[in-house]
Amino acid sequence: MELFEEVEAEAYVYPTEDIEKVKRAMLNLLPDLEFEAFDKGDYIILTGKTKSRKALQRLYELFRGQAILDTARSFLEEGYFGEEIIIRVNKQAAYAGVVNFNEESPLGPITIIIRTKDPQKLMKWLAPRTKDGVPIE
């Protein structure tokens, strides 16, 4: 069974921002996104979607590399609704190639939506519970 059906990322792009930099920020966390942009006048809604099996590999690596498994797990659990897991990450941090769940930013967050038939299995793989920083699941 696949861990997920689709991963989507969404961000508002304001006139002071470069849409290519926002795309890069999203791709730093989620490779293989296919983008669409919707002009809303005062801003653009940029969405990227993928069904690539590698889509969550970068987040998997970042959660471990930054030693934030417990934090990531709590945000995944908080954003779990039915067959979707929704998390928001800081856009500027993503551009720098790191995950920061502090979405307080004047430019808004990147919203990541993971669609999965088995959210518990996905969370256990992506951000397992830990003891003293070591995965125990």
Tokens 């930099």 found at: 21
Tens digit of each residue's pLDDT (9 = 90 or more) over 99-134: 999 767 788 999 999 999 999 999 999 999 888 777
Residues 89 and 19 sit within 8 Å (Cβ to Cβ) = no
In a domain, 1, yes or no: no
Domain total in the chain: 1
CATH of the domain at 101: 3.30.1440.10
Examine residue 135 and state whether it is found in any structural domain, yes or no.
no
* Residues 46-85 pLDDT 10s: 999 999 989 999 999 999 999 999 999 999 999 999 999 9
In a domain, 118, yes or no: yes
Position 86 in a domain: yes
How remote is the C-alpha of 101 from its chain's centroid? 10
Instruction: Give the pTM.
Output: 0.94
Q: Report yes or no on 136 lying in a domain.
A: no
Q: Which domain holds residue 26?
A: 6-130
In a domain, 71, yes or no: yes
| Interatomic CA distance for residues 135 and 64, integer angstroms | 10
12 φ, ψ (degrees, to nearest 5): -85, 135
- Taking residues 26-32, report their average pLDDT: 96
Asked if residue 107 belongs to a domain, the reply is yes
